[in-house]
Amino acid sequence: MKWIISLLIILTGVSAMALEAIESQAEFMNSVSYKLNLIGRARQLNVLTGVNFVVGEGFLRSVYFSVSALAPIVTSITPGSGQNTAAINITNLAGANFVAGASVKLTKSGETDINAANVSVVNSGTITCTFDLTGAAGGLWNVTVINPDNRSGSLSSAFSVTYPAPQISSVSPDHGFSNAPVNVEVSGSAFRSNAGVKLLKTGEGDLAGTSVVIVSSSKITCIFDITGKTPGIWDLTVVNDDNQSGTLSQAFKIEALDLFLTAPVLSAKNPFNPAEGVTTITYGLSRDANISVYLYNIRGERVWQYDAPSGSDGGRAGTNEIVWSGITGFKSFVSIGVYIVHVVAREGGQAKILGRSKIAIIK
């Protein structure tokens, strides 16, 4: 039997001193995972030597150094990605043949290795650790486990380092007239080189910014050609070169020089029963203006009025929505009948009717 042990020592390169050290780990020797590793090692030896090794108690005690002789295998990592702004805790680096004292690192061609901290070999198939990703290059990284005997195993492109998505805090100016291009400055964070900027509005094509300059990670300048574009409120979006994006809703207002309705005067409920709730009167404006909404009965008597200062709800460029409960200016419900809604602009001491609509009241 001595010649078999000698052969095993030669095949694995494990010293007699290492064998004595491993033999002291009786609890590990009796584990299921340990014995399964030995079965696999016995099959390897059958092929290498032609000797029919039987995995019995004697064999287990004579080749327990097999576990440390097998290179680690990495099968998965959880979580599989993290932002390059902080450290991340790896809760399950899974695989096989991990040994106490193993080290872990992330590698990427052209980049400095990221060595793991707080490495804990939970068992031969699980490791937990921490990677400090602060400032790391984005993209896919390889995960490598190195056992104390310098045998290693890697899983290629297993971990993704990501950049934070851009965030927008403001845009200046936040409005412009639709007769000429406008220069804007976008403020925020996490802007990257080659980022793009655009204005968006439901029902309209995206308006991409031109002459985009990434001044810093928190400032972008660009030009929007809003000539002839639909008046109203537009969202602003920044898209980084990794396709991550950030949007500031209702960030920019396009106004026309002339004042007119861009959407007709409508009532959300028509006919309308005040006993069942409220209705919404909607209309669109080409630019900000002082607006009054009047409600007249069929005798031409004004029964309700709503005044909206320029730029406020009811008096701003784009879609406006005015809620009416069916109660008159005299604090009573309107009577059954047909009523006329007038949307009137008040500028320079003059009033101009922009649009009309009818509402039928039922009960």
Distance of alpha carbon 94 from alpha carbon 140, whole angstroms: 18
Mean pLDDT of 217-243: 97
Which domains does the chain possess?
A: 2-69 (no CATH), 73-162 (2.60.40.10), 167-255 (2.60.40.10), 261-361 (2.60.40.4070)
Alpha-carbon Rg for the chain in angstroms:
37
Q: Read off the pLDDT of residues 24-58 as tens digits, 9 standing for 90 and up.
A: 344 444 554 445 454 545 444 444 344 454 545 44
Mean pLDDT of 202-206: 95
| End-to-end Cα distance, the chain | 104
Question: Inter-axis angle of helices 2-12 and 32-49, to 10 degrees?
Answer: 90
246-267 exposure pattern, b = at least 16 Cβ within 10 A, e = fewer: bebeebbbbbbeebeebeebeb
SS3 category, 24: coil
pLDDT for the residue 313: 95
Mean pLDDT of 231-243: 96
Mean pLDDT of 104-119: 98
pLDDT for the residue 64: 46
Q: How confident is the model at residue 348 (pLDDT cuts 50, 70, 90)?
A: confident
pLDDT for the residue 32: 47
DSSP label of 55 = -
Q: Is the pLDDT of residue 9 over 50?
A: no
Confidence (pTM)? 0.67
